[in-house]
Amino acid sequence: MGTVDPMSYVPDPLAVPPVAGLTVNVTCCTKAGEMVLFAFMTMLVEALVGDTTLAEVTPKLEKLFAGWKAGQVPAKNLSTVKLATEPVVYILDKPGASQSVIVTGNASLPANTPQEIAIQAMNDDLGGAFSSRLNMNLREDKHWAYGAGSFFWGAHAQRPLFIYAPVQTDKTKESLVEMTKEINGLIKDRPVTAEELARIQANETLSLPGSRETIGSVGFSILDILQYGWPDNYYDTMAGKIRALKTTDLDAAAKQVIHPESLVWVVVGDRAKIEQGIKDLGIGKIHFIDADGHPM
Protein backbone atom coordinates (compact mmCIF):
# COMPACT_ATOMS: atom_id res chain seq x y z
CA MET A 1 0.00 0.00 0.00
CA GLY A 2 2.80 2.37 0.93
CA THR A 3 4.45 1.84 -2.44
CA VAL A 4 1.42 2.11 -4.73
CA ASP A 5 0.09 5.26 -3.01
CA PRO A 6 2.64 7.75 -4.39
CA MET A 7 2.65 5.93 -7.72
CA SER A 8 -1.02 6.93 -8.13
CA TYR A 9 -0.08 10.60 -8.29
CA VAL A 10 1.47 11.87 -11.51
CA PRO A 11 3.44 13.42 -13.09
CA ASP A 12 6.02 13.06 -10.30
CA PRO A 13 5.02 10.10 -8.10
CA LEU A 14 8.41 9.84 -6.42
CA ALA A 15 7.89 13.34 -5.00
CA VAL A 16 4.99 11.97 -2.94
CA PRO A 17 6.09 10.06 0.18
CA PRO A 18 4.56 6.62 0.80
CA VAL A 19 1.79 6.50 3.42
CA ALA A 20 4.08 4.48 5.71
CA GLY A 21 7.05 6.85 5.28
CA LEU A 22 10.57 6.09 4.16
CA THR A 23 13.41 4.28 5.91
CA VAL A 24 15.53 7.43 5.92
CA ASN A 25 12.80 9.28 7.82
CA VAL A 26 13.09 6.82 10.69
CA THR A 27 16.86 6.36 10.86
CA CYS A 28 17.60 10.08 11.04
CA CYS A 29 14.83 11.01 13.46
CA THR A 30 15.72 12.29 16.94
CA LYS A 31 13.64 12.20 20.12
CA ALA A 32 13.08 15.95 19.89
CA GLY A 33 12.02 15.59 16.28
CA GLU A 34 9.57 12.85 17.20
CA MET A 35 7.95 15.06 19.83
CA VAL A 36 7.60 17.97 17.39
CA LEU A 37 6.11 15.68 14.75
CA PHE A 38 3.69 14.17 17.29
CA ALA A 39 2.57 17.61 18.44
CA PHE A 40 2.09 18.76 14.84
CA MET A 41 0.13 15.66 13.83
CA THR A 42 -2.15 15.63 16.88
CA MET A 43 -2.98 19.34 16.95
CA LEU A 44 -4.55 19.43 13.50
CA VAL A 45 -8.04 18.38 14.58
CA GLU A 46 -9.16 17.50 18.10
CA ALA A 47 -12.42 16.07 19.40
CA LEU A 48 -13.32 15.38 23.02
CA VAL A 49 -16.02 12.82 23.76
CA GLY A 50 -17.22 11.81 27.23
CA ASP A 51 -19.44 12.49 30.23
CA THR A 52 -18.84 16.24 30.33
CA THR A 53 -20.12 19.56 28.97
CA LEU A 54 -18.55 22.36 26.98
CA ALA A 55 -18.89 24.71 29.95
CA GLU A 56 -17.08 22.24 32.20
CA VAL A 57 -14.24 21.32 29.90
CA THR A 58 -13.45 24.69 28.27
CA PRO A 59 -11.62 26.28 31.25
CA LYS A 60 -9.62 23.08 31.76
CA LEU A 61 -8.54 23.00 28.14
CA GLU A 62 -7.67 26.71 28.16
CA LYS A 63 -5.47 26.16 31.20
CA LEU A 64 -3.87 23.04 29.73
CA PHE A 65 -2.96 24.72 26.45
CA ALA A 66 -2.24 28.20 27.83
CA GLY A 67 1.47 27.83 27.13
CA TRP A 68 1.02 26.84 23.51
CA LYS A 69 2.16 29.46 21.00
CA ALA A 70 0.97 29.83 17.44
CA GLY A 71 3.55 28.70 14.93
CA GLN A 72 3.92 28.59 11.19
CA VAL A 73 1.93 25.74 9.73
CA PRO A 74 3.54 24.32 6.56
CA ALA A 75 1.41 24.88 3.49
CA LYS A 76 0.11 21.74 1.85
CA ASN A 77 -0.28 21.38 -1.89
CA LEU A 78 -3.82 20.07 -2.33
CA SER A 79 -4.18 20.89 -5.99
CA THR A 80 -5.86 18.37 -8.26
CA VAL A 81 -3.47 15.87 -9.82
CA LYS A 82 -3.87 14.26 -13.21
CA LEU A 83 -4.44 10.55 -13.68
CA ALA A 84 -1.83 8.42 -15.38
CA THR A 85 -2.17 8.40 -19.16
CA GLU A 86 -1.84 4.60 -19.34
CA PRO A 87 -1.65 1.59 -17.01
CA VAL A 88 1.75 0.76 -15.57
CA VAL A 89 3.11 -2.21 -13.58
CA TYR A 90 5.77 -2.11 -10.86
CA ILE A 91 7.34 -5.36 -9.65
CA LEU A 92 9.05 -5.53 -6.26
CA ASP A 93 11.14 -8.69 -6.04
CA LYS A 94 10.74 -10.87 -2.94
CA PRO A 95 12.79 -14.01 -3.63
CA GLY A 96 11.29 -17.16 -2.18
CA ALA A 97 7.94 -15.54 -1.36
CA SER A 98 5.12 -18.09 -1.07
CA GLN A 99 2.57 -15.53 -2.21
CA SER A 100 2.34 -12.42 -4.33
CA VAL A 101 0.72 -9.24 -3.03
CA ILE A 102 -1.13 -7.44 -5.81
CA VAL A 103 -2.17 -3.83 -5.25
CA THR A 104 -3.60 -1.47 -7.82
CA GLY A 105 -5.33 1.88 -7.71
CA ASN A 106 -5.67 5.42 -8.93
CA ALA A 107 -6.20 8.88 -7.48
CA SER A 108 -9.90 9.36 -6.79
CA LEU A 109 -12.41 11.93 -5.53
CA PRO A 110 -12.20 13.71 -2.14
CA ALA A 111 -14.31 12.42 0.76
CA ASN A 112 -16.54 15.51 0.79
CA THR A 113 -17.96 14.87 -2.67
CA PRO A 114 -21.80 14.87 -2.83
CA GLN A 115 -21.67 11.28 -4.16
CA GLU A 116 -19.80 9.90 -1.14
CA ILE A 117 -22.66 7.68 0.08
CA ALA A 118 -22.99 6.10 -3.36
CA ILE A 119 -19.21 5.76 -3.71
CA GLN A 120 -18.89 3.85 -0.45
CA ALA A 121 -21.81 1.60 -1.39
CA MET A 122 -20.22 0.92 -4.77
CA ASN A 123 -16.95 0.06 -3.05
CA ASP A 124 -18.77 -2.45 -0.85
CA ASP A 125 -19.81 -4.22 -4.03
CA LEU A 126 -16.32 -4.16 -5.53
CA GLY A 127 -14.19 -5.10 -2.51
CA GLY A 128 -15.30 -3.31 0.65
CA ALA A 129 -17.25 -6.20 2.19
CA PHE A 130 -16.77 -9.93 2.64
CA SER A 131 -19.50 -10.58 0.07
CA SER A 132 -17.85 -8.25 -2.47
CA ARG A 133 -17.14 -9.37 -6.00
CA LEU A 134 -13.37 -9.47 -5.50
CA ASN A 135 -13.48 -11.53 -2.33
CA MET A 136 -16.14 -13.94 -3.54
CA ASN A 137 -14.13 -14.52 -6.70
CA LEU A 138 -10.54 -14.88 -5.46
CA ARG A 139 -11.28 -16.36 -2.02
CA GLU A 140 -14.60 -18.17 -2.06
CA ASP A 141 -14.62 -19.37 -5.68
CA LYS A 142 -10.98 -19.71 -6.73
CA HIS A 143 -9.36 -20.24 -3.28
CA TRP A 144 -6.29 -18.35 -4.46
CA ALA A 145 -6.39 -15.73 -1.69
CA TYR A 146 -7.29 -15.59 1.99
CA GLY A 147 -8.97 -12.28 1.26
CA ALA A 148 -9.23 -9.61 -1.42
CA GLY A 149 -10.76 -6.18 -1.29
CA SER A 150 -10.72 -2.45 -1.94
CA PHE A 151 -10.89 0.76 0.06
CA PHE A 152 -10.30 4.50 -0.08
CA TRP A 153 -7.39 5.91 1.92
CA GLY A 154 -8.61 8.93 3.88
CA ALA A 155 -7.31 12.30 2.70
CA HIS A 156 -8.39 15.94 2.60
CA ALA A 157 -8.08 16.16 -1.16
CA GLN A 158 -8.02 13.39 -3.76
CA ARG A 159 -7.95 9.98 -2.10
CA PRO A 160 -6.17 6.95 -3.50
CA LEU A 161 -8.43 4.01 -4.28
CA PHE A 162 -6.68 0.77 -3.35
CA ILE A 163 -7.66 -2.62 -4.80
CA TYR A 164 -5.64 -5.50 -3.39
CA ALA A 165 -5.24 -9.26 -3.23
CA PRO A 166 -2.49 -11.36 -1.59
CA VAL A 167 -2.51 -14.55 -3.70
CA GLN A 168 -0.55 -17.78 -3.98
CA THR A 169 2.53 -17.32 -6.16
CA ASP A 170 1.56 -19.78 -8.87
CA LYS A 171 -1.75 -17.96 -9.40
CA THR A 172 -0.33 -14.43 -9.76
CA LYS A 173 -1.05 -14.15 -13.48
CA GLU A 174 -4.51 -15.67 -13.17
CA SER A 175 -5.37 -13.41 -10.23
CA LEU A 176 -4.43 -10.34 -12.24
CA VAL A 177 -6.82 -11.52 -14.94
CA GLU A 178 -9.66 -11.97 -12.44
CA MET A 179 -9.03 -8.62 -10.73
CA THR A 180 -9.06 -6.87 -14.10
CA LYS A 181 -12.28 -8.66 -14.99
CA GLU A 182 -14.01 -7.52 -11.79
CA ILE A 183 -12.79 -3.94 -12.14
CA ASN A 184 -13.86 -3.63 -15.77
CA GLY A 185 -17.09 -5.50 -15.18
CA LEU A 186 -18.36 -3.03 -12.60
CA ILE A 187 -18.06 -0.07 -14.97
CA LYS A 188 -18.87 -1.86 -18.23
CA ASP A 189 -20.72 -5.12 -18.78
CA ARG A 190 -21.64 -6.19 -15.20
CA PRO A 191 -23.29 -3.22 -13.47
CA VAL A 192 -24.59 -3.44 -9.89
CA THR A 193 -27.64 -5.69 -9.54
CA ALA A 194 -30.75 -5.07 -7.44
CA GLU A 195 -29.82 -8.04 -5.24
CA GLU A 196 -26.36 -6.64 -4.60
CA LEU A 197 -27.76 -3.21 -3.77
CA ALA A 198 -30.27 -4.67 -1.29
CA ARG A 199 -27.48 -6.58 0.47
CA ILE A 200 -25.28 -3.48 0.65
CA GLN A 201 -28.10 -1.32 1.99
CA ALA A 202 -28.93 -3.87 4.70
CA ASN A 203 -25.28 -4.26 5.70
CA GLU A 204 -24.54 -0.54 5.85
CA THR A 205 -27.68 0.50 7.73
CA LEU A 206 -27.91 -2.41 10.19
CA SER A 207 -24.24 -2.02 11.14
CA LEU A 208 -24.61 1.67 12.05
CA PRO A 209 -25.72 1.18 15.70
CA GLY A 210 -22.85 -1.18 16.48
CA SER A 211 -20.35 1.18 14.89
CA ARG A 212 -21.08 3.80 17.59
CA GLU A 213 -20.94 1.57 20.68
CA THR A 214 -17.72 3.00 22.15
CA ILE A 215 -16.62 6.51 23.03
CA GLY A 216 -13.68 6.09 20.69
CA SER A 217 -15.97 5.22 17.79
CA VAL A 218 -18.09 8.30 18.41
CA GLY A 219 -14.96 10.44 18.62
CA PHE A 220 -13.59 9.19 15.31
CA SER A 221 -16.98 9.83 13.69
CA ILE A 222 -16.83 13.44 14.85
CA LEU A 223 -13.26 13.75 13.58
CA ASP A 224 -14.38 12.54 10.16
CA ILE A 225 -17.05 15.25 10.07
CA LEU A 226 -14.47 17.89 10.99
CA GLN A 227 -11.70 16.67 8.71
CA TYR A 228 -13.78 16.10 5.60
CA GLY A 229 -16.13 19.07 5.98
CA TRP A 230 -19.27 16.97 6.19
CA PRO A 231 -22.46 18.57 7.58
CA ASP A 232 -23.10 18.10 11.31
CA ASN A 233 -26.09 15.87 10.58
CA TYR A 234 -24.11 13.60 8.23
CA TYR A 235 -24.65 10.45 10.28
CA ASP A 236 -28.23 11.42 11.24
CA THR A 237 -29.21 11.39 7.57
CA MET A 238 -26.88 8.59 6.45
CA ALA A 239 -29.30 5.65 6.79
CA GLY A 240 -32.02 7.42 4.83
CA LYS A 241 -29.62 8.30 2.02
CA ILE A 242 -28.34 4.71 1.85
CA ARG A 243 -31.90 3.36 1.60
CA ALA A 244 -32.67 5.85 -1.18
CA LEU A 245 -29.81 4.65 -3.39
CA LYS A 246 -30.55 3.12 -6.78
CA THR A 247 -28.35 0.76 -8.78
CA THR A 248 -27.77 3.55 -11.28
CA ASP A 249 -26.27 5.69 -8.48
CA LEU A 250 -23.66 3.03 -7.80
CA ASP A 251 -22.97 2.55 -11.51
CA ALA A 252 -22.36 6.28 -11.88
CA ALA A 253 -20.10 6.29 -8.81
CA ALA A 254 -18.01 3.46 -10.24
CA LYS A 255 -17.40 5.40 -13.44
CA GLN A 256 -16.41 8.45 -11.40
CA VAL A 257 -13.74 6.82 -9.27
CA ILE A 258 -12.44 3.73 -11.12
CA HIS A 259 -10.23 4.38 -14.15
CA PRO A 260 -8.85 1.13 -15.65
CA GLU A 261 -6.91 3.10 -18.26
CA SER A 262 -4.96 4.85 -15.49
CA LEU A 263 -4.42 2.07 -12.94
CA VAL A 264 -1.04 1.72 -11.29
CA TRP A 265 -0.25 -1.92 -10.47
CA VAL A 266 2.30 -3.01 -7.87
CA VAL A 267 3.10 -6.70 -7.50
CA VAL A 268 5.33 -7.88 -4.65
CA GLY A 269 6.56 -11.44 -5.09
CA ASP A 270 9.22 -13.80 -6.40
CA ARG A 271 10.23 -12.13 -9.66
CA ALA A 272 11.72 -15.31 -11.10
CA LYS A 273 8.32 -17.01 -10.85
CA ILE A 274 5.91 -14.20 -11.71
CA GLU A 275 7.63 -11.86 -14.18
CA GLN A 276 6.93 -13.78 -17.38
CA GLY A 277 3.27 -14.31 -16.58
CA ILE A 278 2.80 -10.60 -15.95
CA LYS A 279 4.57 -9.77 -19.20
CA ASP A 280 2.30 -12.16 -21.10
CA LEU A 281 -0.78 -10.22 -19.96
CA GLY A 282 0.47 -6.95 -21.44
CA ILE A 283 -1.24 -4.87 -18.75
CA GLY A 284 1.27 -2.05 -19.10
CA LYS A 285 4.94 -1.17 -19.17
CA ILE A 286 6.83 -3.01 -16.42
CA HIS A 287 9.24 -1.34 -14.01
CA PHE A 288 11.26 -2.86 -11.16
CA ILE A 289 11.47 -1.06 -7.80
CA ASP A 290 12.85 -1.49 -4.30
CA ALA A 291 10.85 -1.41 -1.04
CA ASP A 292 10.86 2.42 -1.02
CA GLY A 293 9.52 2.60 -4.58
CA HIS A 294 12.84 3.61 -6.15
CA PRO A 295 13.78 2.25 -9.58
CA MET A 296 16.10 -0.73 -9.64
101-128 per-position pLDDT tens digit: 999 999 999 999 999 999 999 999 999 9
| Whether pLDDT at 255 is above 50 | yes
- CB of 270 within 8 A of CB of 169? yes
| Confidence category of residue 40, pLDDT binned at 50, 70, 90 | very low
Question: Where is average pLDDT lowest: 187-201, 217-231, 242-256?
Answer: 217-231
Where do the structural domains in the chain lie, given as residue ranges? 4-15+84-206+232-289
- Residues 275, 189: Cα–Cα separation, whole Å: 30
Question: Residue 43: its pLDDT value, please?
Answer: 45
Counting Cα atoms < 13 Å in the Cβ hemisphere of 191 gives 11
Strand partners, 104: 163, 265
Identity (one letter) of the amino acid at 110?
Answer: P
DSSP state of 93: E
For helices 116-123 and 194-206, angle between their N-to-C axes, nearest 10 degrees:
110
pLDDT band at 268 (very low <50, low <70, confident <90, very high): very high
Query: Measured in whole angstroms, how far is the alpha carbon of residue 137 from the centre of its chain?
Result: 20
Most confident by average pLDDT, 36-45, 46-55, 210-219, 232-241: 232-241
Distance CA 57, CA 54 (A): 5
CATH homologous superfamily of domain 4-15+84-206+232-289?
Answer: Metalloenzyme, LuxS/M16 peptidase-like (3.30.830.10)
pLDDT at 16: 55
